[in-house]
């Protein structure tokens, strides 16, 4: 399996000018991993060029998701892996997800913590029919657990909005990884 570092070297950070000059196909290839297994959003974001700032690129992804149908949004949420779930244990995460889960220590849980994540993931799937999604890079292991417990009290509509908000935060950080900062001219 390709490591996150290898994937990042393969997709070096581009300047904003380079991003704006990419063909639609190359833009989709460069940004295809921004939203988990959903490269169609990179294709839609590319249509909003030229971008004036890195934040505009991130906003284009958020807008592409927001404009989609509710069922397509649920499919995007379902494309995300369970935190510390079977895919993580088997090494089947995307490079981006593997790096992000490791950054919060989710690759180093105790047996009791793995068991709790298994219970929380199962409860999420039963109640919402999709996984618990959180921007792990902006959280600690403890806040991730606390958030999952708290968000289980949401209604399905509230949780879909919460998951999409978190996906926007994840996408923003992934976009920032792919564009050189300070190159907004």
Helix (H) or strand (E) holding 61: helix 54-66
d(CA 88, CA 160): 23
Catalytic site includes residue 125: no
> What interhelical angle do 24-31 and 156-178 show, nearest 10?
110
d(CA 178, CA 176): 5
- Distances in Å between the alpha carbon of 158 and those of 77, 108, 161, 167? 13, 30, 5, 14
Catalytic residue among 80, 118, 125, 154: 80
Q: What share of the chain is helix, strand, coil (3-state, %, to 5)?
A: 65, 0, 35
Structure tokens at 111: 């047996």
Place of tokens 């499919």: 75
Phi–psi pair at 14, nearest 5 degrees: -100, 160
Other beta carbons less than 10 A from residue 75's beta carbon: 14
Q: So which residues are the catalytic ones?
A: 80
């Amino acid at each position: 399996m390709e490591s996150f570092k290898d994937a990042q070297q393969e997709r070096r950070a581009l300047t904003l000018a380079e991003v704006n000059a990419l063909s639609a196909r190359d833009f989709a290839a460069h940004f295809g991993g921004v939203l988990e297994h959903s490269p169609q959003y990179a294709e839609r974001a590319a249509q909003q060029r030229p971008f004036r700032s890195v934040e505009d690129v991130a906003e284009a992804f958020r807008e592409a998701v927001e404009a989609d149908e509710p069922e397509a949004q649920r499919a995007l949420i379902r494309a995300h892996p369970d935190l510390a779930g079977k895919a993580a244990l088997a090494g089947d995460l995307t490079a981006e997800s593997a790096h992000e889960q490791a950054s919060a220590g989710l690759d180093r849980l105790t047996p009791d913590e793995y068991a709790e994540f298994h219970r929380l993931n199962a409860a999420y799937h039963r109640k919402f029919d999709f996984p618990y999604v959180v921007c792990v890079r902006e959280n600690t292991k403890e806040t991730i657990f606390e958030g999952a417990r708290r968000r289980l009290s949401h209604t399905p509509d509230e949780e879909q909005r919460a998951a999409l908000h978190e996906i926007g935060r994840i996408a923003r950080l992934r976009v920032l990884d792919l564009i050189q900062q300070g190159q907004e001219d």
